[in-house]
Amino acid sequence: MQPERIVVKIGTSSLVTGGRLDPHKADALAASVADLTHSGLRPVLVTSGAIAQGRTVLGSGGAGEEGLRLAAAVGQGPLFEAFRAGLARRGLTAAQFLFTPLDLCDDRHRDGLRSALDHALGRGVVPVVNENDAVQVRNNDILAALLSVLLRARLLALLTDVRGLYGSDPRTDPGARLIPEAKGMTVELERLAGSSAAGPGTGGMISKLGAVWIATLAGVTAAIADAHEPRVLSRLLGGESVGTLVHPRDTVREHGLEPLWRAFSTPPRGTVVCRPAARHVIDAGGPVPLPLVARTEGSFTAGDVVDVAVDGTSPIARGRTRLGALSLAEALSADDADDATVLHPSEYVSLLEAC
């Protein structure tokens, strides 16, 4: 039986001080990852920070979309070198992997990538992963979640600069309660934690909620915890109450990586409210056709992530719509409305088990 895999993702704010990679923070993380390896586990480190490091070097040249891509390319080398050196001091070899969610969704790329990662882990090498932001700036939380599913990891650990998920905003509510554990991700938990993260920098927490959806729907336990909590990784794995732990449900459906990515890479922009028959269609994994749509809520365009709900119920699916709100309204009011597909099975994920 192969050693258990752990995917550890750490955010920029937990690695950078004053706009530069903090060597002490990087070395502390390398020490924690080394401890996991020496205890018989096989960790994969997913790290942000290349753009921040590159922008410090480039100055004003790191602005704009092209500037961010260049900053990622400039900062990637020093970022990897910090972890390579930290792991080498502890007798371990690191291997750098750069890819995007598209690589995980493409059969040819995914199989090659999985084979390379399996071989590295089998040799005791520590993969250090980052999104290939020089191609397109995306999201390391989502990438880490997809990777945890691909590798069938025991745990996805999302390390950040907060203790976990709260029931209210801890910056404005002194009595804000940390949510220590949840059995499965739900829309209610998402709304509670999302609203508690309102304000500057909330994109990070919102993306982590998407990552938790991906991991737990596919059977991987996910944790959000403070990167600077002493021995955070070993304590999480030892069963201590550290941060917020979200377990997968007892019954897990088979979900492909592509629909998981398309459904949870960004938060929903609106809701497609359907007739009751849509529940049976989604349960069977079929396409959601136009005649099942009753109305829409919110403003969204084709390609946006939307929730699918039956009137008066929690969302029963989430995915990318092929028609925007205006197009749907026009089609629903037309006398000759056709059977156009609103959501295709490759682009949505059922939430029936989370309702």
Do residue 143 and residue 282 come from a single domain?
no
How many domains are contained in the chain? 2
Q: Are residues 175 and 204 in the same domain?
A: yes
Res 201: pLDDT:
34
Quick check: is 172 in a domain?
yes
- Domain termination residue (choose one: 211, 236, 258): 258
CB 235 within 8 A of CB 201: no
My answer on whether 71 and 108 are in the same domain is: yes
Do 245 and 343 lie in one domain? The reply is no
Q: Is the pTM of this model over 0.85?
A: yes
- Are 320 and 185 part of one and the same domain? no
d(CA 269, CA 297): 9
Read off the pLDDT of residues 141-190 as tens digits, 9 standing for 90 and up: 999 999 999 999 999 999 998 889 988 777 778 888 899 999 989 988 88
Residue 81 domain boundaries? 5-258
Query: What tens digit of pLDDT does each residue of 84-110 get?
Result: 999 999 999 999 999 999 999 998 899
User: Same domain, yes or no, for 308 and 228?
Assistant: no
Residue 350 is part of a domain; what is its CATH number? Answer: 2.30.130.10
CA distance 219 to 185: 11
Most distant pair of Cα atoms in the chain: their distance: 71
235 phi, psi to nearest 5 deg: -70, -40
What b/e readout covers 306-339, taking b as 16+ CB neighbours within 10 angstroms? bbbbbeeeebbbbbbbbbbbebbeebeeeeeeee
Q: Are residues 105 and 251 in the same domain?
A: yes
Q: Which residues of the chain have a pLDDT value below 50?
A: 198-203
Residue 64: the pLDDT is 83
Tokens 């700036």: give the residue: 137
Asked if the structure places residue 273 within a domain, the reply is yes
117 is a domain residue: yes
pLDDT of residue 336: 61
Report residue 113 as tokens: 């990538």
- Kind and range of the H or E run holding 209: helix 202-217
Residues 233 and 140 in one domain: yes
CATH number, residue 243 = 3.40.1160.10
